Amino acid sequence: MLERQRLFWSAHPYDLEGTGEKFLRAVRANCAFHLKRCPEYRSIAQALHFSPDQLQTMEDLAKIPVLPTLFYKRHALFSMPRSRMAMYVTSSGTSGKFSQIGFDWGCVFAEIPMVLHLGWTHGLISPKPAHCVILGYKPHKSNRTGVTRTMYGLTYFSPPISRTYALQYVDGGYVPDLDGVARALDKLGRSVFPTRIVGFPSYLWFGLKRMEELGLRVRLPRGSKILLAGGWKQHYSQQVEKSVLYDLAGRVLGIPEEEIHESFGAVEHPIFYNACKHHHFHIPIYARVIIRDVNTLEPLPMGRIGLVNLITPLMNATPTTSVMTDDLGYLTPGEECGCGISSPYLTLLGRVGLGDIQTCAAGASQILGKGEGF
């Protein structure tokens, strides 16, 4: 399993060209691992006539069995017993079905250098202690969502002095407390330490609007930052023009645009994607992205719009080597960004289909992962 660690401990997080061989080797080992230990994955590979030795060049990555995120919502796939996993998390489906994904210790160990390298590259790491305001869930033993884990992790980029949560766990459920957050921010404006706000973009938007309504304006100390994180969905449901959100953050909190940082990941693909200074998500060395034709699923050339297929050898507990999200997106050559990062960047255009699909066919709402919307 050292192939994976060699890749994740590499020094330059955007050197795609220089790490191609390491990536291939790690993916081959990862596929072989899952084929040996996960009977469902083995059945799929057999049906698709795949074996790891077919992976000889980067083009061959497209041959790895691709599992749609939809599939994990209906089938819990594991390549090791629960007792050997470091963690067991779910996607943040509040109603309906959610994915169940296991994290092994080797995966956690590989994530550490990834997060540190990227955190360092994107200027997120600071030795100066900071107060943290989390526009997300307060961790609780009943909450296994991946995003809760991510947000908690993001508070450690600087030594955390305090943590205030927008979603409090009360009597078996989460209740939003935006007014509590607004009051906390008002107080933190007078602290000598900077504040770091971590959260879903939509919560930031609602929180800032609420503060504006209440007539609250804060000048957070210099060095304060906003780290936006979330699953895929949170990035465009409640889609607000980024520039409007940034203006509002400047006006209400006194945080300038360059201190607002975006990242994303998914439970089924927990790679730490960060926006560059031009707000583009470049592909780091830990992952490769293939855009696939919406009719044939064949790989498409750079620039064409299709389904987004994400590949990483990160996880051993669940076969997530190659996953397909239900998003449409496209890739752009890194040089066109101009930020200095040479790896291509991924633009997400949103979920496939027409926004919220509703159904009255018996049993369909569960399949669509929507609960019953009653």
Partner 1 sequence: MIFAKGTILPDEQLPQVLGQLEEDLIAVRGQAPLFPRVVIDACQRLLERLDRGELDALIAQYATPQLLSALEQYRHLLRPESLEYKLSVETGGLLSVEDRPFGRTAAVPLGTLLHITAGNLDGLPAFSVVEGLLTGNVNLLKLPSGDSGLSVALLKLLTDTEPRLAPYVYIFSIPSSDRSSLQALADLADGIVTWGGDEAIRAMRAMAPAGCKLMEWGHRLSFAYLSGAGRGEDLEALAGHIIQTGGLLCSSCQVIYLDTADQDQARRFCQSFLPVLEGAAARFHQTPGQAAMATLHGYEHRLALAVEGSAAQVFQGRGCSVTLCPDQSLELSPLHGNVLVKCLPRHKLAAALFPQRGRLQTVGLICPPQQREELCRLLAQAGVTRITSAAHMSEPFLGECHDGEYPLRRYLRLVDVEASL
Binding site for partner 1 (CB under 8 A): 40, 43-44, 46-48, 65, 67-68, 70-71, 74-75, 173, 294-297, 305-307, 324, 326, 328, 351-354, 356-365, 367-368, 371-374
Nearer to partner 1, 1 or 297 (CB): 297
Nearer to partner 1, 127 or 172 (CB): 172
Shortest reach from residue 247's CB to partner 1, in Å: 26
> Closest Cα to residue 107, out of 293, 334, 319?
319
What are the residue ranges of helices labelled H in 75-126?
Answer: 105-121
> Closest Cα to residue 363, out of 100, 96, 99?
96
CA distance 28 to 204: 41
- 3 three-state secondary structure: helix
Shortest reach from residue 315's CB to partner 1, in Å: 18
Shortest reach from residue 265's CB to partner 1, in Å: 21
Nearer to partner 1, 347 or 358 (CB): 358
Shortest reach from residue 357's CB to partner 1, in Å: 7
CA distance 213 to 195: 22
Nearer to partner 1, 15 or 40 (CB): 40
Shortest reach from residue 100's CB to partner 1, in Å: 15
Shortest reach from residue 182's CB to partner 1, in Å: 18
* 2 in Cβ contact with 29 (< 8 Å): no
CA distance 103 to 83: 11
Nearer to partner 1, 127 or 213 (CB): 213
Task: For strands 322-332 and 345-351, give the pairing.
Answer: antiparallel
CA distance 163 to 151: 11
Nearer to partner 1, 259 or 327 (CB): 327
